[in-house]
Chains A and B, each alone.
Chain A
Amino acid sequence: MSFDQILGLITGILFGFLLQKGRVLRFDKQVGAMLLQDMTILKFMLSAILVGMVGIQLLASFGIIALSHKAMNIGAVLAGGALFGCGWAVMGFCPGTSIGALGEGRWHAVFAIAGMVVGAAVYAELYPIFKSTVLAWKDFGKIGVVEVLGISPWLIIPVFFTGIIWLFVWFERKNL
Chain B
Amino acid sequence: MRLKTEDGGWSPYLAGALVGVLAIISVYATTQWMGKTHYLGASTTFVRAAGLLERTVFPDRVAANEYFTKEKVRVDWQFMLVLGIFFGALIASTTDKSFKLESVPPTWEERFGPSIGKRGAAAFFGGIVAMLGARMADGCPSGHGLSGMMQLSVSSFIALVMFFGTGVIVAGFVYRRRAS
- 1/0 per residue A50-79: CB within 8 Å of B? 111101110110001111111111001111
> From residue A170, how far is it (CB to closest CB) to chain B in Å?
14
Residues of A near B131 (CB, < 8 A) are 87, 95, 115-120, 122-123
> Quick one: given A11-B26, A70-B143, are A22 and B130 in contact (CB under 8 Å)?
no
- The main secondary structure of chain A at its interface with chain B is helix
Q: Which of B21, B49, B84 contacts A16 (CB 8 A)?
A: B84
Cβ A69 vs Cβ B155 within 8 A: yes
Residues of A near B147 (CB, < 8 A) are 52
> Quick one: given A7-B34, A91-B122, A104-B98, are A119 and B132 in contact (CB under 8 Å)?
yes
Residues of A near B113 (CB, < 8 A) are none
Residues of A near B133 (CB, < 8 A) are 79-87
- 1/0 per residue B108-149: CB within 8 Å of A? 100000001001111111111111111111111111111111
Residues of B near A84 (CB, < 8 A) are 129-130, 133-134, 137, 140, 159, 162-163, 166
A-side interface residues, number (CB < 8 Å): 127
Using a CB–CB cutoff of 8 Å, the interface residues on chain A facing chain B are 1, 3-28, 31-36, 40-41, 43-53, 55-57, 59-60, 64-73, 76-109, 111-128, 130, 134-135, 140, 142-146, 148, 153, 156, 168, 172
Using a CB–CB cutoff of 8 Å, the interface residues on chain B facing chain A are 1, 5, 7, 9-24, 26-31, 33-34, 36-37, 39-40, 42-43, 45-47, 49-51, 53-54, 65-68, 75-93, 96, 98-108, 116, 119-172, 174-176
